[in-house]
Structure 1
């Protein structure tokens, strides 16, 4: 079993409101293995941000146990603080300073060598723009500078809460490439996001939650699963559908066949004199799994 950099068991967070007690996180178990990018997924109101805030000591858990890098938190959080970077809320940078000046000041304030500024700028792809004023940055560049700020500590674990919120497609692509590079460099990244197509492109593993509860967790390829459906192409789709139905196959109107024996599809159609022009697997993506698991769990409010 891989070493776990984040481990939470029975994690619970309750809020008292005028209407009574509201449960934001309900006995959640979370396990993030070392290395790569781990997606932390859930609808609005599922408790993602609350969970992250508890892990970072920004909110107190009602119950449960948490560990970061093998240390109990929040009790031993100071022992691992230098090894953990996080972008949870929009960081405050001086708008009239350049990106490099902001990073240099931050490095000095935390006692990090200023040589790490060069490495952080290069890692997030801001080389050539680091001497521009922060106020001239696009939202995507501001997000990359925020990630660069966390890298000044040279962290083993990086926690990013919805880092692509509000970005245009170009900005999303930039952040995606930055996160992928970080995961490949040996940093473990916990990525909270609702953009499933982006998550599937960068994540090696994922946890899906709904209403504060664990719904599924594991490697992305295991969550998506193997295909048991195939899209069929034929010169006469109606005839092909009729032949396959008569042969006992479940066939959709779009000529998608449910089977674990694609050779039998070829055999049935070939026997009727119908020759395939296409037989391709239809694979579920992470978004389909997510929607299936979280149906009816959209709450709104806290993320």
Structure 2
């Protein structure tokens, strides 16, 4: 695995507030990483530190092999950490030409990047005529002009309507499919589950989980159950090592599995123990359920 960014024991304090606390994780080439957490969990602060716009309090981070200065490394980074900032009465092409001059990039890249974000047909339209989703897509085109090795996005779908959200997510997937590493901060579990291969879960600046998304949601799932003799059912489940957490809410019993089990085998097991179900549904845990379990434990 080739590291793109390595964060080690990173801490940031604003007076008495610790925004990021001894945070460590590594981003490897070719993956889509999500920093997931509610507002105020330290996501934007972490991105600000590695992009040299926020000073760290302690800890360290290194780009690529660690022998590259942050200044030089950032030439290989594309980032959007604030709302798109373009001239409203200039066209998309004119705005991107200015970015090319700043980044020292050839103008020939402009059409190529506008095509990726689906704005080539609107390249001669003024920025002021763009919808919020189009403005965000133009910002992504701008961040791609220097063919970055990693694209950093802070809450890329914030404030967009469902169609705009879908378009941005599809663009992120397309960019990732071409080999660009992506790091995005989001408070949306749905976004991370649909777009990211890896996730770092933060709460109040502390890391709760770091790893693959599919491993985080690779639990054996759970059964939702109802029957007329609930107490007997709960006792039977609690005394069986196949089941972990047992949750009771009114007439619904939720039994989390420690190992794989088919619903017909489960139903047979209960029937042999004198329990007849009136309701049986087998489900997989979503990232949301995993996330809630993580935050409950901490």
Q: TM-score band, normalised by the shorter chain?
A: 0.7 to 0.9
Q: Which has the higher contact order (CA 8 A, sep 6+)?
A: 1
Partner of residue 168, structure 1 = 161
Distance 2:48 2:39 in 1: 16
Distance 1:173 1:149 in 2: 20
Compared with structure 1, are the counterparts of its residues 174 and 242 closer, same or farther at alpha carbon in structure 2 (3 Å cutoff)? Answer: same
What RMSD over aligned residues (CA atoms) do the two structures have, in Å?
2.7
How many residue pairs match? The answer is: 285
Task: Note if contact 1:86-1:158 (Cα within 8 Å) is conserved in structure 2.
Answer: yes
- Relative to structure 2, which stretch is displaced further, 255-264 or 172-181? 255-264
Distance 1:144 1:61 in 2: 30
Q: TM-score, normalised by structure 1?
A: 0.84
Partner of residue 23, structure 1 = 18
Distance 1:251 1:82 in 2: 51
Task: Note if contact 1:244-1:265 (Cα within 8 Å) is conserved in structure 2.
Answer: no
Partner of residue 180, structure 2 = 187
Any gaps of 5 or more consecutive residues in structure 2? Answer: 239-245
- Relative to structure 2, which stretch is displaced further, 253-262 or 170-179? 253-262
Task: Note if contact 1:164-1:171 (Cα within 8 Å) is conserved in structure 2.
Answer: yes
Partner of residue 295, structure 2 = 294
Partner of residue 45, structure 1 = 40
Partner of residue 33, structure 1 = 28
Distance 1:50 1:273 in 2: 53
* Distance apart, 1:246 and its partner CA: 7.9
Compared with structure 1, are the counterparts of its residues 296 and 142 closer, same or farther at alpha carbon in structure 2 (3 Å cutoff)? Answer: farther
Distance 1:115 1:84 in 2: 19
* Distance apart, 1:131 and its partner CA: 2.0
Distance 1:85 1:186 in 2: 14
Compared with structure 1, are the counterparts of its residues 228 and 163 closer, same or farther at alpha carbon in structure 2 (3 Å cutoff)? Answer: closer
Partner of residue 60, structure 2 = 65
Partner of residue 78, structure 1 = 71
- Relative to structure 2, which stretch is displaced further, 166-175 or 185-194? 166-175
Any gaps of 5 or more consecutive residues in structure 1? Answer: 298-303
The yes-or-no answer on 1:238 pairing with 2:239 is no
Q: TM-score, normalised by structure 2?
A: 0.85
